[in-house]
A and B are shown apart, each in its own frame.
Chain A
Amino acid sequence: MTDIFLILVGAILVNNFVLTQFLGLCPFMGVSGKVETAIGMSAATLFVLTLASACSYLVFHYLLVPLGLEYLRTISFIVVIAAVVSITEMVMHKTSPLLYRVLGIFLPLITSNCAVLGVALLNINQAHSFAQSIYYGFGAATGFSLVLILFSAMREKLSQCDIPEPFQGAAIAMITAGLMSLAFMGFSGMV
């Protein structure tokens, strides 16, 4: 139980993928304009990350290791992730077409979200078991969602504020992200 808790807290707060490890910054800046979109993106990433870490574990341990092909892990993980993303995309197009449209290019871009590949590779490096891999993937996605939604809420508030002209737009977003990253540094050393 403590094991699971440590993995979750570690992935969500201490080693937050966006703010501490700086993975997955593209959707973090790209889809954080509105809270609604951010929640949709978070849900999609949560699903993809958890599933992809489980699938990549299975592929690694039951296909690549027996054949002695550990060196192919990056290629095969990318293939697995792309497949999971495609399935998510199709299902979402059917069930929530508006969200599909709003997420637009960022949905297929989950494939190249380095956080997803990062989790799959880190799972192997840290020799996680199957259950641990899933928890780690879930924790990483939760951390990503947490940060993305918080950030988008802040950006929504900021869009109503009188920001000095030189800081408008991307500049204030970067400053906000930097401040958030500073805040998350406070968690380091906790686990």
Chain B
Amino acid sequence: MATSFFSVFPALVNPVIALLGMGLGIGALLAFVSKTFRLESDPVVEKINELLPQTQCGQCGYPGCKPYAEAIASGDSINKCPPGGEKTILNLADLLNLKVLPLDESYGHEETKKVAFIREAECIGCAKCIPACPVDAILGAPKFMHTVIESECTGCDLCIEPCPVDCIDLIEVSQGSLSSSQAMNDEEYLACINCGLCIDECPVDILPHELYWACRGGELEQAESLKLMHCIECGKCDKICPSHIPLVDFYQSSKLELKLQQQERIKAENAKQRFENHQIRMAKLDAKEEYRRNKRAELAKQDRQQTSSESIKAALERVKARKK
């Protein structure tokens, strides 16, 4: 059939063979490349995890921040994290080039930062809250009063529910406030005209007008790369500015924001570490408990077999005695 087809259309032989050969060759090459460059684990998960607030609260429906990061990497939506709120969603959207979504309210509301506090007079020392804490921030032992290590608490509220006497409260923590100065909001200054007068004036060789744009746009990373932290706040640029922009006020508020952000990052990193340690500890405890339970079950089984055989023997003897 095939030969007759090609004998009818001899002009088709060459193109078919050429394209077939090319396809086979390219297919083989692709197969080889896909084998050599196979992916083991997705490093994007780590990047996503770094942007999550690491409260390990589980409000997203996953048992911690890392599992949620994995879920996002495989396509879950980015708006399920109430503690991170709008900021986290913006960062995630930026990282993954996704559309910004409003926070999904069915998973909770964005609230101010809180920490757990144990009313120590009422604590009965039941130790039920200790395994519930995802970052091991509760200190205590059975029949002794517990307390919360405030600097480690992420305010996830997972310890509230297991407490039988309701002695744990969530209290708000005061954060450094990001108040913008009066001068910044007055709008009494004019727009920056890029005149460059401030550049010559600056004693530490930064570009004050570029830095101003970055600070004003909230582009902290860019501000940092423009040497925001080198600014000594001498105020020379303020004085020379023909538009009367309160430049130093902008720098100061950005510096504060940057510092708070760094603190938060360090805290999140710490919480992540503690969550991982907690997971390992709980796995170990579970394994131990499992081992003990199995051993006990085995002993009980042996015991039962022994006692049953003994009791049968005794019964038989009793019957025999009665017959006599």
Contacts and interface: CB of A to CB of B under 8 A. Distances in A.
Interface of A: 37, 59, 63-64, 67-69, 72, 75-76, 79-80, 83, 86-87, 90-91, 93-94, 97-98, 101-102, 104, 160
B33 interface: yes
Q: How large is the interface on B (under 10, 10 to 19, 20 to 34, 35 or more residues)?
A: 20 to 34
A97 B42 contact: yes
B195 interface: no
B29 A64 contact: no
Contact of A83 (B30, B37, B47, B213): B30
Contacts of B95: 98, 102
29 contacts: A37-B97, A64-B18, A67-B14, A67-B15, A67-B18, A68-B14, A69-B14, A69-B18, A72-B15, A75-B19, A76-B22, A79-B19, A79-B23, A80-B26, A87-B30, A90-B33, A90-B34, A91-B33, A93-B39, A94-B37, A94-B38, A94-B39, A98-B47, A98-B95, A101-B44, A101-B96, A102-B95, A102-B96, A102-B97
Contact of B29 (A68, A87, A93, A104): A87
Nearest to B222: A156
B19 A76 contact: yes
B22 A59 contact: yes
Interface of B is mostly: helix
B217 interface: yes
Contact of A97 (B29, B44, B217): B44
Interface string B12-33: 0011001100110010011001
Interface of B: 14-15, 18-19, 22-23, 26, 29-30, 33-34, 37-39, 42-44, 47, 95-97, 213, 216-217, 219
Contacts of B42: 97
Contacts of B97: 37, 101-102, 104
A94 B42 CA distance: 9
Contacts of A160: 213, 216-217, 219
